[in-house]
Structure 1
Amino acid sequence: MALEALKSRRRSDYKFALEYRTRWSDNDMYSHVNNSVYYYLFDSVVNTYLIERCSLHPPTSSQIGLVVHSHCDYFAPVEFPSVVDVTLRVNKLGKSSVTYEIGVFERGQDEVKAVGEFAHVFVDRGSRKPVKHGMAEALRTGLSKILVQKPKL
């Protein structure tokens, strides 16, 4: 996706949000939140959504999501002390895979600070292979609620 389109993201482009209060230890030597913390936030918002809205129970679920792709585009720094809204949407929903988009917004500011992408493939817990029938129905139903419909050309 073009960087200009990502830079223009607003909170309203996302359908789920999780608040995060930055910690002193999140800052790096340049006095802004370290890039590794963004990936922690991506993992947190995705898994919070899966647990709260998709009936996923990681310790006992027969299917688990394996991360097969992730990246982040950074547009402006965040630094301690800040409160950020980590926002989530689904850009693509396949038979056994899902591609999420995560936006990071600092409280009180409209400009997106970073936009990330995170892809899961849901597999059988034991074999680590995609299941024949695809992801569980509860997962699909929950994820479809935050799926962004692309305009038809």
Structure 2
Amino acid sequence: MKMAYIKDMEEWAADFGFSIQVSVRISETDMYGHLNNTVPFIYFEQARAEYFKKIGLMNDWQVPNGETIPVVADLQCDFVKQVFFDENLSIYIKAAEVGNSSVDTHYMAKNEKGEVVFTGRGTLVQISKVTGKGIPWTAEEKSLFVKEKVK
């Protein structure tokens, strides 16, 4: 399977520096024990929140009187292998490209054998709570996405 956002799978996979662990719950599976196809998006969200907390961006977004919030502009998942109930997965996230007020995030899930089971990508935009328009990243915020800071 070829994903447009991945040029070289080995190089792409080696570039991740942050991950979380999840265990597939029975409520996340279908009657055959397969992971429901909507659940990876929940895992992506969980990894994204932990990643943003780790690099220091969630602090501003969680302040009730803060001026900006992040919104997901698009999100996709590509399934590589079947995933079943009770499997333990590592969900990886990285900032692939930082724009003016957006960040393109990439995701990778590996099972306990180290096999890639699904991948994904999405764009998150920082917007004004008042106007709903994009708010540019500051130089400091852009620097937070540098992967060495999250390894």
The reply on whether 1:65 has 2:70 as its aligned counterpart is: yes
Structure 1 spans left out of the alignment, 5+ residues:
148-153
**Residue 74 of structure 1: aligned partner:** 79
Give the whole-Å Cα distance in 2 for the aligned partners of 1:111 and 1:92: 25
Q: Deviations over 1:93-142 (max 9, x none)?
A: 111000000001012x12210001111011112221112xx124443222
The CA deviation string for residues 42-62 of structure 1, in whole angstroms up to 9 with x for no partner, is 011111111221232333142
Q: Distance in 2 between matches of 1:115 and 1:146?
A: 22
Amino acid at match of 1:63: T
Alignment-mate amino acid for residue 80 of structure 2: F
Aligned to 2:26: 24
Q: Give the C-alpha shift of residue 3 in structure 1.
A: 3.1
1:130 match: 134
- The separation in 1 between residues aligned to 2:35 and 2:91, in whole angstroms, is 14
Quote how far apart the aligned CAs of 1:8 are. Answer: 3.5
Distance 1:142 1:101, change over 3 A: same
Counterpart of 2:117?
113
What is the total number of aligned residue pairs between the two structures? 144
The answer on whether the counterparts of 2:26 and 2:33 sit within 8 Å (CA) in structure 1 is: no
Task: Give me the TM-score of the superposition, normalised by structure 1.
Answer: 0.82
Aligned-residue sequence identity (percent) comes to 21
3-state SS of paired residue (1:35): coil
Q: SS where residue 3 of structure 1 aligns?
A: coil
Q: After the TM superposition, which parts of structure 1 deviate over 6 Å for at least 4 consecutive aligned residues?
A: none
Equivalent residue number for residue 151 of structure 1: none
How far the C-alpha of 1:6 sits from its partner, in A, is: 7.1
Partner of residue 45, structure 1: 47
RMSD: 2.5
Q: Report the counterpart of residue 36 of structure 1 in structure 2.
A: 38
